[in-house]
Amino acid sequence: MKTFKYFIPAVIWLVTSLILLTLPGSAFPKENWLNFIWADKLIHIGMFALLTLLWCYAFFKSNPSNNLLKIFLITGFVFIIYGAAMEFVQKYWIPNRSFELEDIIADTIGVILGFLFSYRIFIKK
């Protein structure tokens, strides 16, 4: 139970991401200057980088073993699948939302960045 405290930020961010990814399309502005700079994709990258980093940190603090690389890789794979699955959820179940391959790519880039940062900070020291 003592190590559970390390997972609290990760769980909170996972729930936050789930809420953000399942908001109806009507909750977002239609067209603005943010589309020009691909703000949506940058948000996806940041959201998934932070998600991966928080979970890797929690695993590092709760189990600083020799298996961290494997755990981090599995974490990254799970969040890539999560990002792709959420695109299908948006397409089929969320009003005014659609499937975007570019969002899956942005999510994957975020996961890779979160993994690389976690690897460098928690494993490679």
pLDDT classification of 63: cutoffs 50, 70, 90: confident
Residue 42 maps to a domain: yes
pLDDT classification of 65: cutoffs 50, 70, 90: confident
Contact 73, 123 (CB under 8 A): no
Residue 26 maps to a domain: no
DSSP tag of 122: I
The whole-model pTM stands at: 0.90
What is residue 92's predicted lDDT score, i.e. its pLDDT? 94
Residue 103 maps to a domain: yes
Residue 24 maps to a domain: no
Calpha distance 11→21 (Å, rounded): 15
Range of the domain at 81: 2-18+38-124
DSSP tag of 124: I
Residue 72 maps to a domain: yes
Share of the chain above pLDDT 70, in %: 89
Number of domains in the chain: 1
Residue 28 maps to a domain: no
pLDDT digits (tens, 9 = 90+) for 100-113: 999 999 999 999 99
Residue 90 maps to a domain: yes
Name 6's Cβ contacts closer than 8 Å, sequence gap at least 6.
57, 58, 61, 62
Residue 33 maps to a domain: no
Calpha distance 51→115 (Å, rounded): 10
pLDDT classification of 66: cutoffs 50, 70, 90: confident
If DSSP codes are grouped into helix, strand and coil, which group holds residue 96? Answer: coil
